[in-house]
Structure 1
Amino acid sequence: MIYRTYQPRLARSTTLKELPLSRFVEFLWIREGDNLPEAQSRLLPIGSMELVINLHEDRIPLFDPHTQAERGSTNGTRICGAHSEGFIINNERRVSAMGVHFKPGGHAAFFTLPAGELHNQIVSLEELWKSRATELRERLLEAPSLETRFLVLEQFLLTMLQPPKRHPAVDFALHAFKRSPTPTVKTVTDQVGLSTRHFNQLFRDQVGLTPKLFCRVRRLQHVLSLLAGQDQIDWLDVAFTCGYFDQAHLIHDFRAFAHCTPTEYVAQRGFHPCHIVLPS
């Protein structure tokens, strides 16, 4: 299987006419493979939105998060809103897909819909981009190589990019949460000078999660980054390093977001830290 990522190039200037894509997009990714084992995976929350394009067929199934049964589908291009719970995908024997991993709040440069309306939602990209979604997929299918596909996707995103209208309090909070491994939402709320209710609504509208949920998801992501490639794990040390009160607190968040314990996660993790391979 091939899994590659691509960092958007910086613009030569920072004028509004030439905004760098890297301000809003963390990376682009591509996944290709044949004769892969068929299974379902649970994708853990990442704290931001993700655009996914299935190049194998113009359809992506949706699954019930509890029964794992199929419950409909989207078109081959879809947008995954910011999640505070895991969702299930199907791993087919043949995979050909691309995606855009937006930075927290970065989707606002491409979509006008408030992010909170897509919380825990997955919708066809056509609902937001109309015919441009189909056009994007067709252009990618015409590209002769993986490298060319990255360039096609990058250029297409640049044509869709519009300067986002983000509240400075949200930008301040995102920077503060990124700087601190154990951020305190109350401290940041006090610093921006807004009421808790107003700030929570602003943040949810522009990021897709409340500040508290966002910080919990990012803390879990910190845990996953520490576990990458590790088999012998001091769970108490991990818990304290990532800002949990104790090991029980860590286990509670794993059950809430991943529907499993930390040790079950280590045994079932897939090719990516956010993927948990589910038993048949």
Structure 2
Amino acid sequence: MDEDRIPQFDHHNRMQCGSTNGTMICGTHSENFIIRDANKISVMGVHFKPGGAAFLELPARELYNERISLDELWKTHATELRDRLVQESTPEARFWVLEQFLTQMLRPTNYHPAVNFALQQFQQSTNSTIRSITEQTGFSARHFNQLFRDQVGITPKLFCRIQRFQKVLEMLSAKAPVDWLDIAFTCGYFDQAHLIHDFRAFADCTPTEYLDQRGFHRCHVVLAD
């Protein structure tokens, strides 16, 4: 938190390709990105639920796979927030400041009930299809996809695909030894090749490499030097 820059890296060649200032917003992502954890720094943040960031004036789709300085959206408010956080000495006090600040920045939402309905169905039911849920909203697939992207940042299809992959990671964190075929079928994959494809797409590694390099969080992989 003392350094007012957050470096960004190209996830293909792992070279630094820019930075944001000390307050950053990360949009909905379907690709991995690199963070540097070598320095002893203090970091805190907020993880919003899908469609839950009611603090911005732009559609969520415009932040898809983006990480930008928060002052690009909040101007001087971002600097004010960071200054107030740095002044506090305990995590509890910092979280209180952050909570109060976000409450003040909260804006009236225009969340569409059809999107909220779909999110509930996608997160609760493994049997419902995107097509059947879209039909229940009464909208065409094209119009519903647009509503969903504006609120969540990605299409319903990609959302469900990421959610399926997250379920795999959750099972891996609690299951040993690993039965890859069982995990693949339980989570809705056609076969192991289908599962491996998503590992490469989202985590940039194979399932075996993921287990060997898994970090402090199930979505964190430690890269080799």
**Which residue pairs with 1:98 in the alignment?**
44
Q: Give unmatched runs, 5+ long, in structure 1.
A: 1-54
**Which residue pairs with 2:57 in the alignment?**
112
Q: Which has the higher strand share?
A: 1
**Which residue pairs with 1:173 in the alignment?**
118
Residue 257 of structure 1: how far off its partner (Å) = 0.8
Mapped partners of 2:127, 2:100: distance in 1: 37
Mapped partners of 1:182, 1:139: distance in 2: 47
Q: Which has the higher helix share?
A: 2
TM-score with structure 2 setting the length:
0.96
Question: Is this contact kept in 2: 1:77–1:133, CA < 8 A?
Answer: yes
Aligned residues: 225
Q: Name the SS for the 1:71 alignment partner.
A: strand
Where does 1:220-231 land on structure 2 (aligned, <5 Å)?
Answer: 220-231=165-176
Q: Give unmatched runs, 5+ long, in structure 2.
A: none
Where does 1:72-87 land on structure 2 (aligned, <5 Å)?
Answer: 72-87=18-33
In the alignment, does 2:25 pair up with 1:66? no
Q: Which residue of the other structure, out of 128, 141, 145, is the alignment partner of 2:86? A: 141
Q: Could you give the per-residue CA deviations for residues 75-94 of structure 1, whole angstroms, max 9, x where no partner exists?
A: 00011110111111111230
Question: Is this contact kept in 2: 1:231–1:266, CA < 8 A?
Answer: no
Q: Name the SS for the 2:35 alignment partner.
A: strand
By relative contact order (CA 8 Å, sep 6+), the higher-ranking structure is: 1
Amino acid aligned to 1:61: P
TM-score with structure 1 setting the length:
0.78
Mapped partners of 1:65, 1:143: distance in 2: 34
Question: Is this contact kept in 2: 1:167–1:202, CA < 8 A?
Answer: yes
Residue 150 of structure 1: how far off its partner (Å) = 1.2
Kindly report structure 1 stretches of 4+ aligned residues shifted beyond 3 Å.
none
Q: Which residue of the other structure, out of 172, 185, 192, is the alignment partner of 2:137? A: 192
Mapped partners of 1:277, 1:119: distance in 2: 24
**Which residue pairs with 1:162 in the alignment?**
107
Question: Is this contact kept in 1: 2:2–2:86, CA < 8 A?
Answer: no
Amino acid aligned to 1:114: P
Residues 182, 100 of structure 1: CA spacing in aligned structure 2 closer, same or farther, 3 A cutoff? farther
Residues 276, 183 of structure 1: CA spacing in aligned structure 2 closer, same or farther, 3 A cutoff? farther
Residues 271, 160 of structure 1: CA spacing in aligned structure 2 closer, same or farther, 3 A cutoff? same
Q: Name the SS for the 2:44 alignment partner.
A: strand
